[in-house]
Amino acid sequence: MNPKWNGQFSCFHLVAKDATKTNGQIRTVIRVRDLEIGGSEFVVMAGPCAVESETQLLQTAEAVAQAGARILRGGAYKPRSSPYSFQGLGVEGLKILQKAREATGLAIVTEVMSEEDVAVIAEYADIMQVGTRSMENYALLEALGGCGRPVLLKRGMTATLEELLRSAQVIAMAGNSQIILCERGIRTFETATRNTLDIAAVPVLKAVSHLPVIVDPSHAAGVRSLVPVLARAATVVGADGIIVEVHPSPDEALSDGDQSLDFDQFRTMMDDLGPYLELQKDQRQLRPQLLAVGGAD
């Protein structure tokens, strides 16, 4: 391990790797229903930005499940940049997510924005998503310590990796070490993309932390044409999965339509990822050092 990283991250002892052990470190594998995140499978989470209606969600759930997604995403409580935007369906949205899980067997990931909503969302969700705007909401992070569900922790759009791991440590110290880290792009001087996907975050986080790491190419790109190539990049740097926005008719989506794939585009992306996933599987099983940094794995 890079000695600089050791000094930088080792204080977050519940989520950082122990640098004194160079080999055979136990990785955190998160079990959700019948699948494992951080294990041998590259897990694809997909679905609309926001739950808009039962028809919209059920159609999307069927389509993404058929194409190989294992987890359905969809926001019922939406953190919108504008107060005039659609704010989400709340509990009604959670009930629709539950129906989609019953219909397809997909696990559910959905966002929680306030500590007051943790209990109700935990009743319906399999994974609790903390969005980029909430990464440093410590009251929320602490409440998630006792929620009994894994947490998908997105990197704040202006947060360093150290700050991301600090937030993960807060959740772990509050009693929940089932945490999935998510690189979703950060704000830089570049404006051609919505955010800058920090692809190096994946191997760095994998080197310094034992937690699973996934990539959100949708919020990084901001435009749908870039989503498949960024998803491909996630596979080759050793991410444990991706979370992707998919909508039956993206141009009519109530949020994030520009970056959402339609069903055909999602299927094509999944087909195109096939050879990369095979390669990644071989690397994970046979030559894990290829995906490690400085032999840290």
Report the interface residues with ligand PEP, using CB under 6 A.
Answer: 49, 75, 79, 131-133, 154, 184, 216, 219
Nearer to Mn ion, 49 or 51 (CB): 49
DSSP, residue by residue, 42-84: -EEEEE-SB---HHHHHHHHHHHHHHT--EEE-BSS---SSTT
Residue 159 CB neighbour total at 10 angstroms:
18
Among all residues, whose Cβ is closest to ligand PEP? Answer: 131
CB of 220 to ligand PEP, least distance (A): 9
Among all residues, whose Cβ is closest to Mn ion? Answer: 49
**Contacts of Mn ion in 47-106 (CB under 5 A):** 49
Site string for Mn ion, 111-150 (x = CB under 5 A): ----------------------------------------
Nearer to Mn ion, 49 or 213 (CB): 49
CB of 22 to ligand PEP, least distance (A): 34
DSSP, residue by residue, 3-24: HHHHHHHTTSTTTB--TT--S-
Q: Indicate the Cα dihedral angle 110, 114, 115, 117, nearest 10°.
A: -60
CB of 212 to ligand PEP, least distance (A): 17
Vertex 69: Cα angle to 63 and 73 (nearest 5): 85
**Residue 267 burial (C-beta neighbours within 10 Å; 0-12, 13-18, 19+):** middle
Question: By CB under 5 A, is residue 45 in contact with Mn ion?
Answer: no
Sign of the CA dihedral with 230 first, then 273, 291, and 129 last: positive
Rg (CA), the chain: 18
Question: By CB under 5 A, is residue 256 in contact with Mn ion?
Answer: yes
CB of 56 to ligand PEP, least distance (A): 15
Residue 39 binding target from ligand PEP, Mn ion, none, CB below 5 to 8 Å by type: none
Nearer to ligand PEP, 63 or 152 (CB): 152
Which residues form the interface with Mn ion (CB under 5 A)?
Answer: 49, 256
